[in-house]
Amino acid sequence: MEYQDYYKTLGVPRGASADEIKKVYRKLAMRYHPDRNPGDKQAEDRFKEINEAYQVLSDPQKRSRYDQLGDSYSQWQQTGAPGNFDWGQWSAGQGGVQEVNLDDLFGDGTFSDFFRSIFGGTPVGQTLRGRTSRGAPSIQAPVTISLKEAFNGTTRTLQSGNRRVDVKIPSGVRTGTKIRAPSAGQVRSDGSSPDLYLILDVDEDPLFERDGDDLHTHVTIDVFKAILGGEEEVKTLSGKVVLTIPAGTQPEQVFRLAGRGMPVLRHPQSTGDLYVHLKVQIPRQLNARQRSLLAEAAKLK
């Protein structure tokens, strides 16, 4: 089995902070996400590698275990000892960690042999506090969704043994939201089925920045529209709307579109607002007619 250098996969130093790792992961995940690269097998494989590395390095317990393994592996390489590295002492199941195999939940081939061997196929693998009503420990698993999915709501289909479970994710969720799927875990020998909690991570969006239930976006207009006024199409998560630009609009002026933000979790009839930040583009070149008219207007100020 080949050792996986997760720090190298993300391009971060071993001492990188949790915030640094998350920032780099989000950037890479956005770049290689399958939705942005349809039909690109290389991008899909790269996305899986990035996701696997992040599942380990973003979890303190797993990162600590991985770092210990890395130190041991490095020492073994430096000694030049004969034979293969002893992976057995690092195999999944050591230390009594409750695990859930996400390859079983979300499809085969999600994680590498290295990951499954060391972590048992679980990106989190921690028992949550408390137990289900049937006495089975509950389990949690991270799931990344897009901002669009968080806006509209979505579902994730889980495969648990011979069962397929559709978990509904309501609109308005945000990073850190927990979605409970009662008794969705694989049935154990005693007949119990653990609850599964999906821990959501809402991916960054290239057009919108989220602030609670409000959204912010940037729109560029030309200087003539800013001076004279006019209309500009603005993209929202529910479709395009027409924004009226008053004459004399200033650069970086902000317009509020009420009710065009994110739905409020558990209260989808309530929504945040969308704030449109206007940028004014100054033309680098003017034709003779434009220059003449502007010169004439300048004399009249």
CATH class of the region 209-284: mainly beta
Residue ranges per structural domain of the chain? 1-80, 97-111+120-204, 209-284
Name 155's bridge partners: 168
pLDDT at 13 (0 to 100): 94
Q: What percent of the chain has pLDDT over 70?
A: 75
pLDDT at 276 (0 to 100): 96
- For the domain made up of 97-111+120-204, give the CATH fold: HSP40/DNAj peptide-binding domain (2.60.260)
Question: Where is average pLDDT lowest: 55-59, 110-114, 197-201, 271-275?
Answer: 110-114
Question: Where is average pLDDT lowest: 14-23, 177-186, 291-300?
Answer: 177-186
pLDDT at 214 (0 to 100): 96
From 86, 91, 147, 163, select the one nearest 120 (Cα to Cα): 91
Question: Where is average pLDDT lowest: 41-45, 250-254, 272-276?
Answer: 41-45
Residue found by looking up tokens 């599964």 in the block: 196
Do residues 157 and 216 touch, judged by C-beta distance below 8 A?
no
Whole-angstrom CA distances from 265 to 154, 164, 200, 259 are 13, 26, 13, 14
Same fold, 97-111+120-204 and 209-284: yes
Q: Report whether pLDDT(148) > 60.
A: yes
CA gap 253, 214 in Å, rounded? 17
pLDDT at 247 (0 to 100): 94
Residue found by looking up tokens 């989220």 in the block: 210
CATH of 1-80, one of 2.60.120.330, 3.30.70.260, 1.10.287.110, 2.60.40.420: 1.10.287.110
Q: Report whether pLDDT(104) > 60.
A: no
Q: Report whether pLDDT(130) > 90.
A: no
**Per-residue tokens: 186:** 């694989």
